[in-house]
């Protein structure tokens, strides 16, 4: 018997959809098959928005990335890309992943190959707002019999067919933030594979091992001392403020910090290895931090429409209902199950009660 959290998330805000469409260098074509946006291409999240329900995991990511607690919104345009429906289905089933360039992954590790700690992450540089990144398509499981067709951008009638192990798949260009790619790919690589099914690439790739190590480090529960960091713990009024997305530019010669910066009044000091001692007034000015803030995620997490906890019996199969929402095991996220935002608290409560009564009948 394990404790489950049942949450229903709101739809992805239209401004995030529009932002991803503007940033996407592929003009909303499928990243993998290059299909036109008016076919079966749909919006997808690199790192599933359902992980919002996993407080411990998101707390760890925010801590390691140098963010304030509660500020990471997985509906950011940098976590949204576009895939054909069938390709997206395989992605959700963890059958393939994206792999960033090793030089990008190396940004987040030190000379000894260990993940950077919070203060070091806060000082990383990034390129410009319109930066795009190169990714490699990597099959993971059950892709041996899959054929992927990729259309030519200039002539849709020209189609290249790619088969396992997809060595001829071209380099993929996308606006998505490599940190979200590392999270998703790392979560897949950290799965427990059945004996004899571990992909050869995972066994032999130093790059993939770095990604797996980064993922495990980033999702670790923050240390107890994190409660003493003024740049991590946000006063409650900040959580209650309306989410928004700002565009702030400083002088052109300023170094650029590669990190998600929520708002100007939430900038973190990045020159201390211990708990910050700087007053709030000293971190309010972007000029004092010498950074350029690019359009980023709204300064708080996705707010669930409903949030329930109940007991779940392993003998019961989960009920899949389409649309918005996410069900997550307390010991970790799994492939999200969507729940209609049209459900009311009463109907969900009734469904949960019926499930409990049914399980009691089966076990008696």
Backbone angles phi, psi at 282, to 5 degrees: -80, -10
Distance CA 26, CA 172 (A): 10
| Domain layout of the chain by residue ranges | 14-228
What's the length of the chain? 364
Tokens 């009024």 correspond to what residue?
237
The token pair at 341 is: 């935002």
> Secondary structure of the chain: what % helix, strand, coil (to 5)?
30, 15, 50
pLDDT per residue over 335-355, tens digit each? Answer: 433 344 445 556 666 667 777
| Residue-level pLDDT at 315 | 38
Angle at 122 between CA 116 and CA 125, to 5 degrees: 95
Helix (H, G, I), strand (E, B) or coil at 333: coil
Say if residue 20's pLDDT is above 80: yes
pLDDT in tens, 198-245: 665 666 688 999 999 999 999 999 999 999 998 898 655 444 333 433
Distance between CA 232 and CA 68 in Å, rounded?
4
Q: How far apart are the first and last CA of the chain?
A: 15
Distance from C-alpha of 353 to C-alpha of 77, rounded to nearest angstrom: 38
Torsion-angle region of residue 28: left (phi > 0), alpha (psi -120 to 50) or beta?
left
- Tell me the sheet residues that pair with 81: 44
Cis preceding-peptide flag for 165 (omega within 30 of 0):
yes
Instruction: Specify which residues 109 forms β-bridges with.
Output: 115
Angstrom distances, CA of residue 125 to CA of 17, 32, 108, 328: 26, 29, 11, 34
Is it the case that residue 98 has pLDDT exceeding 90?
yes
Arithmetic mean of pLDDT over the chain: 73
Per-residue pLDDT of 99-130, as tens digits, reads 999 999 999 999 999 999 999 999 987 667 77
CA–CA separation, 278 and 272 (whole Å): 10
Tokens 């931090």 belong to residue: 289
Task: Quickly count: other Cβ atoms within 10 Å of residue 268's Cβ.
Answer: 24
């Amino acid at each position: 018997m394990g404790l489950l959290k049942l949450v229903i998330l709101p739809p992805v805000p239209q401004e995030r959809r529009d932002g991803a469409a503007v940033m996407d260098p592929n003009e909303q074509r499928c990243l993998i098959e290059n299909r036109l946006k008016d076919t079966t291409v749909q919006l997808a999240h690199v790192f599933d928005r359902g992980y919002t329900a996993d407080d411990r995991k998101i707390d760890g990511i925010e801590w390691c990335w140098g963010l304030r607690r509660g500020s990471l919104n997985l509906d950011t345009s940098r976590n949204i890309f576009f895939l054909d429906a069938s390709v997206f289905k395989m992605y959700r089933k963890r059958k393939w992943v994206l792999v960033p360039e090793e030089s990008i992954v190396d940004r987040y590790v030190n000379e000894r190959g260990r993940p950077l700690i919070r203060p070091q992450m806060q000082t990383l540089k990034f390129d410009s707002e319109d930066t795009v990144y190169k990714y490699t398509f990597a099959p993971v499981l059950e892709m041996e019999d899959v054929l992927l067709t990729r259309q030519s951008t200039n002539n849709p009638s020209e189609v290249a067919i790619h088969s396992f192990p997809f060595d001829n798949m071209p380099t993929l260009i996308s606006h998505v933030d490599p940190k979200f790619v590392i999270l998703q790919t790392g979560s897949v690589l950290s799965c427990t594979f059945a004996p004899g099914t571990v992909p050869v690439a995972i066994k032999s790739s130093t790059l993939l091992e770095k990604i797996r190590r980064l993922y495990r480090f980033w999702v670790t529960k923050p240390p107890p001392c994190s409660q003493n960091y003024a740049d991590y713990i946000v006063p409650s009024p900040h959580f209650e403020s309306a989410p928004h997305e700002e565009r702030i530019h400083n002088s052109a010669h300023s170094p650029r910090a590669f990190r998600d910066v929520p708002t100007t009044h939430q900038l973190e000091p990045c020159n201390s290895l211990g708990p910050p001692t700087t007053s709030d007034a000293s971190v309010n000015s972007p000029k004092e931090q010498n950074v350029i803030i690019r359009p980023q995620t709204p300064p708080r997490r996705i707010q669930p429409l409903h949030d329930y906890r109940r007991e779940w019996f392993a003998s019961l199969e989960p009920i899949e209902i389409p649309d918005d929402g996410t069900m997550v095991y307390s010991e970790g996220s799994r492939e999200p199950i969507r729940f209609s935002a049209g459900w009311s608290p009463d109907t969900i409560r009734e469904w949960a009660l019926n499930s409990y009564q049914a399980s009691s009948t089966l076990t008696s």
